[in-house]
Chain A
Amino acid sequence: KQEVTQIPAALSVPEGENLVLNCSFTDSAIYNLQWFRQDPGKGLTSLLLIQSSQREQTSGRLNASLDKSSGRSTLYIAASQPGDSATYLCAVGGDQGGKLIFGQGTELSVKP
């Protein structure tokens, strides 16, 4: 049974810092991995999707890496801003069908 864990559960940093969020999964037989952002009272917004054959994806100040063999993914946020404050969720897709298994999320607070 696939389990997804995110560390840390909460993180507070000053504006401008570069930071890394971690995600680990127990079964390396994944189809893809996605990082989502969730703002309070809102739904989830997809940030980056990494196919199982890929090592990383980049979008603006965000970079996500995937190491299937070790069961790990990281989300790197460069030059953090207060607007980046949100909960970040990692989710693993096990097949083409689209079912996602989520971690519990990392709540990020970026202080001005």
Chain B
Amino acid sequence: EAGVAQSPRYKIIEKRQSVAFWCNPISGHATLYWYQQILGQGPKLLIQFQNNGVVDDSQLPKDRFSAERLKGVDSTLKIQPAKLEDSAVYLCASSSTGAYGYTFGSGTRLTVV
């Protein structure tokens, strides 16, 4: 079974620029999550999709972050404009039934300079 695919692996941008991350979940997984992990901290949920609908985006900074999940499969997370404090690893995860079968991708490490 293929894992959760994320790209790019690394990205360095200047503050105020925009950036986008891509995630391809495990085939058939209805639930997709984006987590933000700042160095030295545990991951924090940004947004959760069930198929292509948003279940929870309460911690997504909506003035600069946006996310979509097209046709209930792939997802993109965008930051525009980026701030220094957005430097973090952005992890995508998917699951078939809520908390069970959680599978994480390797993440995208973003550095904002």
Contacts and interface: CB of A to CB of B under 8 A. Distances in A.
Judged by DSSP, the binding face of A is: strand
Given A103-B42, A104-B41, A104-B42, A98 B106 contact: no
A78 interface: no
Interface in A42-90: 42-46, 49, 89
Interface in B28-78: 31, 33, 40-45, 48, 50, 55-56
Judged by DSSP, the binding face of B is: strand
Contacts, number: 67
B110 interface: no
A43 B107 contact: yes
B42 A4 contact: yes
Nearest to B104: A43
A80 to B, nearest CB: 22
B31 A98 contact: yes
Interface of B: 4, 31, 33, 40-45, 48, 50, 55-56, 91, 93, 95, 98-100, 102-107, 109
20 contacts: A34-B99, A42-B106, A43-B106, A46-B102, A89-B42, A96-B99, A97-B31, A97-B48, A97-B98, A98-B99, A98-B102, A99-B45, A100-B43, A100-B99, A100-B102, A101-B45, A102-B43, A102-B44, A104-B40, A104-B42
Interface of A: 4, 6, 31-32, 34, 36, 41-46, 49, 89, 91, 93, 96-105
